[in-house]
Amino acid sequence: MNLHEESRPLVVVGAGPAGLCAAMEAAGAGLPPLVLDEGSQGGGQLVKQIHRFFGSREHGAGKRGFEIAVELVSGCLEGGAEIRLGHRVLGFFRDGRLLVDGGEGVFLLRPGATILATGAVERSFPFPGWTLPGVMGAGAAQTLVNLHGVLPGKRALMVGAGNVGLIVAYQLLQAGMEVAGVIEVSRRVGGYLVHAERLRREGVPLFLRHRVVAAEGGKEVESVLVEDMETGALKRFLVDTLCLAVGMAPQAELAAMRGCRLVHVPELGGFLPWHDREMRTDHPGVYVAGDLAGVEEASVAMDEGRLAGLAAARDAGVLDPGKAAARMREIGARLELLRGGPFGEPRRRAKERLCSLPGSARGREDGDRVRRKGRLKKR
Amino acid sequence: MRVRGHPVLGEPPRGREVTIYLDGRPLSAREGEPVAAALFASGIRIAHYTGSGEPRGPFCMIGRCTECRMLLEGRGMVLTCLTPVEEGMRLRTPGGGKA
């Protein structure tokens, strides 16, 4: 079969915060990128974030996610990047070519360098009734209310008291849904207390040490059975929507197809492509950034994207290594700050461990051992 | 149901009101919004039935889980969370008895 084929100096897969920042940085350095995204809007998951961001000016602190998304997209376009939306990358072959579905047929891209910024996908877990309509990812409910202005149901129960669960529960209230409660298996709230406090003020109860037993209903969710793990007592919540905020997993399929070495890092969401501090994988010309390189926050994704864009431009010979190094140091220092504090510390240590695994042939053997054992060896 | 008077977003900009058809039944939708969102707005959460007759509905809303798939006349099976509404489009619920 003869498919149309295009050559590009740099292709970025994913127009979320990581991909857009990578593209902007590379474009600024003289390596014009083509950015592909399967969605109909650039900005990735930022487009549904309506809370104000923490962090520093470089991370858009004080702004809402969807405002940052608009800025990043226009920054990319002004910088000379081309963004093609509605384009789904189906394959990343061992010869480095990408197979792309542009909606009206597939074609091939031959990139000089490729930055993968494919993000993460919400996790689920099995329980009786978990496939009933009305059970959905917390992020899916957030997409519906904040981006599309549509309610997923009338009354919801949230599973998971991490930041996603707490923030989305509050945003469901803002959109006009009832929230029956937030349940959490652990003994403590995983997210920032400021988010938990807001829910308490709205009268939404938080049930620690509680777990889902079953989602019940004929054709859709009508109620959810929950167990108090301390006493064994059962509670039935009359809700039509059950939102799961139980973590995210890096979308590593394309990296795996290309043959990039994958490492299992529980603190960062599971299997992800090995990379060094400059976001280079074990395959020359293939870079990663954002949640694909470890599930963290949008601010981290932006800075990792910038690192990947700089590394790609320098390795392609269009950016002076000294200039690249100076800018990378500045970004690296910011990342250290972002990963400070009790929430960031485990991620900082995990990233440190990951990056210090050598990327050489010997490193590859290490990687195989790591893969067989199923998790990254603690040092 | 649609969100009304959001405290942060206000009244979101919406596309032109159009009619789409689900299993032959007319439904109001907004041009350009994902088909899955239009169906949620009408309280419809079942996208298809599995071979063993179990109902399934959208889970991820970003094109990954494939649970929102439906038959779109003239196009075949589509992910309704990524497919924008167009005037007059005809959808069918696979496995729903009418497909």
- pLDDT tens for each residue of A76-110: 999 999 999 989 999 999 999 999 999 788 999 99
pTM over 0.80: yes
Note the pLDDT of residue A341.
80
Predicted pLDDT of residue A375: 47
Point out which residues pair with A35 in neighbouring strands.
A12, A83
pLDDT of A371 above 60: no
Cβ–Cβ gap B9/A154 under 8 Å? no
Q: Which two tokens stand for residue A292?
A: 């694909």
Other CB atoms within a 10 A radius of the CB of residue B39 amount to 26
pLDDT digit string, tens, across residues B12-32? 778 899 999 999 999 999 999
Chain centroid, CA A215 distance in Å:
27
Residues in chain A: 379
User: What's the CA gap between A362 and A256, in Å, rounded?
Assistant: 19
Burial class (CB in 10 A: 0-12, 13-18, 19+), A62: exposed
> What whole-number distance in Å separates Cα of residue A80 and Cα of residue A347?
34
Q: Looking at residue A374, what is its pLDDT?
A: 44
Average pLDDT of span A107-115: 98
Q: What is the CA radius of gyration of chain A?
A: 21
Min Cα separation B68/chain A (Å): 10
ipTM of the complex: 0.95
Q: What is the pLDDT of residue A106?
A: 95
Spell out the alpha helix ranges (H) of A233-284.
253-258
Maximum distance among all Cα pairs of chain B, rounded to whole angstroms? 43
Measured CA to CA, the distance from residue A133 to residue A146 in angstroms comes to 20
Q: Given this model, what pLDDT does residue B12 score?
A: 72
Question: pLDDT at position A22, please?
Answer: 98
Q: Which residues of B touch A219 (CB under 8 A)?
A: 46, 55
- pLDDT score for B97: 63
How would residue A363 be classed by pLDDT, with cut points 50, 70 and 90? very low
Mean pLDDT, chain A, whole residue set: 91
B interface with A, Cβ–Cβ < 8 A, is 1-4, 6-9, 12, 14, 33-34, 37-38, 40-41, 45-47, 54-64, 67, 82, 84
pLDDT of B48 > 50? The answer is: yes
Q: Which amino acid is at A86?
A: G
**More confident of the two residues A17 and A374:** A17
Contact A124 B59 (CB under 8 A): yes
Which residues of chain B are within 8 Å of residue A176 when distances are taken between CB atoms? 1, 3-4, 6
Bigger pLDDT: A377 vs B26:
B26
**In this model, does residue A320 exceed pLDDT 50?**
yes
CA distance A16 to A29: 20
Instruction: Kindly tell me the burial class for residue A232, based on how many C-beta atoms sit within 10 Å of its own C-beta (0-12, 13-18, 19 or more).
Output: exposed
User: Quick one: average pLDDT of A246-253?
Assistant: 96
3-state SS, residue A370: helix
In contact, A22 and A312? CB cutoff 8 Å: yes
Distance in Å, alpha carbon of B64 to nearest chain A alpha carbon: 8
pLDDT tens digits for A16-56? Answer: 999 999 999 999 999 999 999 998 889 998 888 887 776 66
Q: Which of A144, A151, A153 sits opposite B61 (nearest CB)?
A: A144
How many angstroms away from the CA of B34 is the closest CA of chain A?
8
Q: Which tops the pLDDT comparison, A55 or A323?
A: A323
CA distances from A35 to A152, A280, A318, B2 (A): 31, 18, 19, 33
Q: Which of A152, A173, A126, A165 is nearest to A240 (CA)?
A: A152
Residue-wise pLDDT for A290-315, tens only, equals: 999 999 989 999 999 999 999 999 99
Q: Which residues have C-beta within 8 Å of that of residue A123, sequence separation ≥ 6?
A: A244, A246, A247, A248, A249
Interface test with B, best of A52, A144, A146, A174 (most B CBs within 10 A): A144
Residue A232 has pLDDT above 60, yes or no: yes
**Taking CA A12 as the corner, what is the angle to CA A319 and CA A45, rounded to the nearest 5 degrees?**
125
pLDDT for residue A373 is more than 60: no
What's chain B's length in residues? 99
Q: A40-49, A252-261, A266-275, B4-13: which has the minimum mean pLDDT?
A: B4-13
H helices of chain B, in order, are: 35-41
Check residue A280 and report its DSSP letter: B
DSSP for A292-331, please give it.
Answer: GGS---HHHHHHHHHHHHHHHHHHTTSS-HHHHHHHHHHH
Q: How does residue B10 score in pLDDT terms, banded at 50, 70 and 90?
A: confident
* Contact indicator for A149, B14 with CB cutoff of 8 Å: yes
Pick from B3, B57, B60: which is nearest to A122 by CB?
B60
Q: Which residues of A touch B41 (CB under 8 A)?
A: 150
Residue A280 has pLDDT above 90, yes or no: yes
pLDDT digits (tens, 9 = 90+) for A165-201: 999 999 999 999 999 999 999 999 998 899 999 999 9
pLDDT at B9: 82
Report phi then psi at A164, rounded to 5: -60, -50
Question: Residue A241 pLDDT > 70, yes or no?
Answer: yes
Closest CB to A151: pick one of B3, B67, B82.
B3
User: What's the pLDDT score for residue A359?
Assistant: 64
Question: Locate tokens 């390596």: which residue?
Answer: A31
Q: Cβ contact (<8 Å) for B14 and A122? A: no
Residue A316: the pLDDT is: 97
Nearest residue in chain B measured CA to CA from A133: B57
Residue of A nearest to B84 (CA): A40
Q: Which of A150, A242, A244, A291 should we substitute to test contact with B (largest number of B Cβ atoms within 10 Å)?
A: A150
Q: A298-315 and A65-79 helices cross at what angle (nearest 10)?
A: 10
